[in-house]
Amino acid sequence: MLEVKDIDVFYADAQALYGVGLRVEEGEVVTLVGSNGAGKTTTLRAISGLRPISRGDLVFEGSSIAGLPAHGRAELGIALVPEGRELWPSLTVLENLELGCYSKTARKHRDESLERVFDLFPRLQERSKQVAGSMSGGEQQMVAIARALMTRPRLLMFDEPSLGLAPVIVTQVFSIIRRLAKEGLTILLVEQNLKKALEVADRGYVVETGSITLQGPAGELMANEGIRSAYLGI
Ligand SMILES: Nc1ncnc2c1ncn2[C@@H]1O[C@H](COP(=O)(O)OP(=O)(O)OP(=O)(O)O)[C@@H](O)[C@H]1O
Ligand SMILES: [Mg+2]
């Protein structure tokens, strides 16, 4: 479904990605893990069209999307749940969700999509008129996921969905990810919580200082000695 081919990304003169390559097949959950500053967010931003690539290509369902602006990629079904949620804090939950269905096709399916996200997150229906900024961290993460689902994504990318959340909420977030995967959604998951990520993923990639250094089935990565000592502390 998605192929990231040998991409370089810069911030001004500073290179953040060096020939990063990865692929995500339809229906897969793929995780991209690595420590702070490794280039995980940059990779997701490049796929979303929020950051230009200076070399390589991005192929979605057989066609290059490298020339498409971010909203064009969203129309194709590429959605991102960004690091730090990025909600509109003074708008209500419902208004935040409505902003997820700005594209023509998404707008057409608004009611159906709302029903789906309220079924996934009953709490958001109860709180639909509350301003998003006054929700708890966990609830805000749910709003961010729900907003991305309102775009009717084919590929859903998560950037550190568990960041800053209490363990019980982290478990809830991962159970939502698992449920979406079971329903057939294709997922690219960026996480620092490597253990949780590898538990839910089919395959994984490790990124270090802007390059992919290791890849394989989740079970293999979990058993990898280097990973266990570097990321799991065991
Ligand atoms: N807006 C920016 N301007 C300049 N440099 C940036 C910018 N955003 C990221 N970088 C740099 O690019 C590199 C990769 O950053 P990135 O945010 O992709 O890492 P990350 O793996 O997501 O880290 P974290 O786990 O901390 O979120 C880092 O060296 C970072 O300092
Ligand atoms: Mg990041």
Give the binding-site residues of ligand 1, using a 6 Å CB cut-off.
11, 14, 16, 34, 36-42, 83, 192
134 falls within a domain: yes
60 falls within a domain: no
User: Would you say residue 156 has pLDDT above 80?
Assistant: yes
Measured from the Cα of 34, ligand 1's closest atom is 21
CA–centroid distance, 83 to ligand 2, in Å, is 6
CA–centroid distance, 193 to ligand 1, in Å, is 18
Single residue among 118, 134, 153 that ends a domain in this structure: 153
185 closest CA partner among 195, 194, 173, 177 = 177
pLDDT of residue 57: 98
What is the average pLDDT value for the chain, to the nearest integer?
Answer: 93
- Ligand nearest 47 Cα, by number? 1
- Lowest mean pLDDT: which of 70-74, 181-185, 228-232? 228-232
Residue 40, domain CATH: 3.40.50.300
- Ligand nearest 13 Cα, by number? 1
Q: Can you tell me which residue has the tokens 């363990």?
A: 167
d(CA 214, CA 200): 18
Strands 203-208 and 29-33, by their bridges, are: parallel
Whether residue 72 is found in the same domain as residue 187: yes
Strands (E), the chain: 2-11, 14-24, 29-33, 55-60, 63-64, 78-81, 155-159, 186-191, 203-208, 211-217
Whether residue 173 is found in the same domain as residue 225: yes
Cβ burial 48-57 (10 Å sphere, 16+ → b, else e):
bbebebeebe
CA–centroid distance, 96 to ligand 2, in Å, is 23
* Residue with CA at minimum distance from ligand 1 atom 5: 11
Name 208's bridge partners: 211
- Lowest mean pLDDT: which of 58-72, 79-93, 99-113, 119-133? 99-113
Over the stretch 181-207, which tens digit does the pLDDT of each residue have? 999 999 999 998 888 999 999 999 999
Over the stretch 119-153, which tens digit does the pLDDT of each residue have? 999 999 999 999 999 999 999 999 999 999 999 99
pLDDT of residue 233: 65
Token pair listed for 39: 């280039």
Phi first, then psi, for residue 30 (nearest 5°) are -115, 135
Whether residue 35 is found in the same domain as residue 147: no
Single residue among 153, 176, 202 that ends a domain in this structure: 153
Domain of 170 in residue numbering reads as 22-51+67-77+154-234
